[in-house]
């Protein structure tokens, strides 16, 4: 049996990733309404009633909107680190004390082993995740202003990689966003550009070539074709044949990806 993965949504309108393996199902983030998450899960042949836990990366609304609702309605735990829980105070409504769980480093849940690691973003203590089963591994690195050596270490040689490719630098700088927002996006506490994602990807592939899923693409400051060609050119310059050695696909704002098997 293989782990099943679908990115239910990725971007400023809401982020959530579904993973299922051997009867256990989890979400990484729940940044849409409970109703919308359920609607998208149904496209993956699942429902919110089948969820066992929600893991939060950070406290921004596009990552937490449905978390409290899911916990109350389905009596499931929410996992976050200490500083994120402090930032969440009053943001997701009341949940049972037993469903308020702390993650620090790594933990096991059923057949899943999850490792969390620090990332650079304008939140209290944002984290990424690596999710492993006995058969495969998934790395989640989004909402990052830059990638340091520890993040590279965590995301290296995985089977499946969900990586941010948020904006094209020239589109951002020439676009209509106000100056303060442009500064935030391109800062070390903002989001990875196409060029930044392209630069780090070859370093993550020493022993394994993962399936790559480009995430959090801006609707205003990026285009899928532009992100794809930027990544493709850099990987092929490193001697990797896209489409032969490895696949590149996209996440969406308004719908889930297909259900991948890892």
pLDDT tens per residue, range 20-68: 999 999 999 999 999 999 999 999 999 999 999 999 999 999 999 999 9
Number of domains making up the chain = 1
| Residue 142 CB-density burial (10 A; 0-12 exposed, 13-18 middle, 19+ buried) | buried
Contacting residues for 172 by C-beta, under 8 A, at least 6 apart: 182, 185, 186, 193, 218, 221
Domain that holds residue 141: 4-261
For residue 94, the SS3 value is coil
What is the CATH number for 179? 3.60.15.10
pTM for the structure as a whole: 0.97
User: Please, which residues have CB within 8 angstroms of residue 97's CB and are 6 or more apart in sequence?
Assistant: none
Where residue 84 falls among pLDDT bands split at 50, 70, 90?
very high
Beta carbons within 8 Å of 215's beta carbon, 6+ residues apart: 7, 10, 142, 162, 163, 164, 165, 251
244 pLDDT higher than 80:
no
């Amino acid at each position: 049996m293989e782990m099943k993965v679908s990115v239910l949504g990725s971007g400023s309108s809401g982020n959530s990733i579904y993973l299922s393996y051997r009867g256990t199902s989890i979400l990484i983030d729940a940044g849409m309404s409970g109703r919308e998450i359920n609607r998208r899960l149904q496209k993956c042949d699942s429902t919110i009633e089948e969820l066992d836990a929600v893991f939060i990366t950070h406290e921004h609304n596009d990552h937490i909107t449905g978390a409290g609702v899911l916990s109350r309605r389905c009596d499931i735990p929410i996992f976050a680190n200490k500083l994120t829980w402090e930032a969440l105070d009053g943001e997701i409504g009341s949940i049972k004390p037993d469903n308020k769980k702390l993650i620090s480093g790594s933990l096991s849940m059923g057949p899943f082993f999850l490792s969390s690691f620090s990332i650079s973003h304008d939140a209290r203590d944002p984290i990424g995740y690596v999710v492993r089963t006995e058969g495969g591994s998934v790395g989640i690195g989004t909402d990052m202003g830059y990638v340091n050596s520890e993040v590279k270490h965590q995301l290296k040689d995985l089977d499946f990689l969900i990586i941010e490719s948020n904006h094209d630098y020239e589109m951002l700088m020439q676009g209509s966003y106000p100056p303060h927002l442009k500064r935030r996006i391109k800062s070390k506490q903002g989001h990875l550009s196409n060029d930044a994602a392209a630069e780090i990807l070859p370093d993550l592939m020493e022993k394994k070539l993962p399936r790559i899923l480009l995430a959090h693409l801006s609707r205003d400051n990026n285009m899928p074709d532009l992100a794809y060609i930027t990544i493709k050119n850099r990987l092929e310059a490193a001697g990797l044949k896209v489409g032969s050695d490895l696949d590149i696909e996209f996440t969406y704002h308004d719908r889930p990806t297909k259900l991948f098997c890892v």
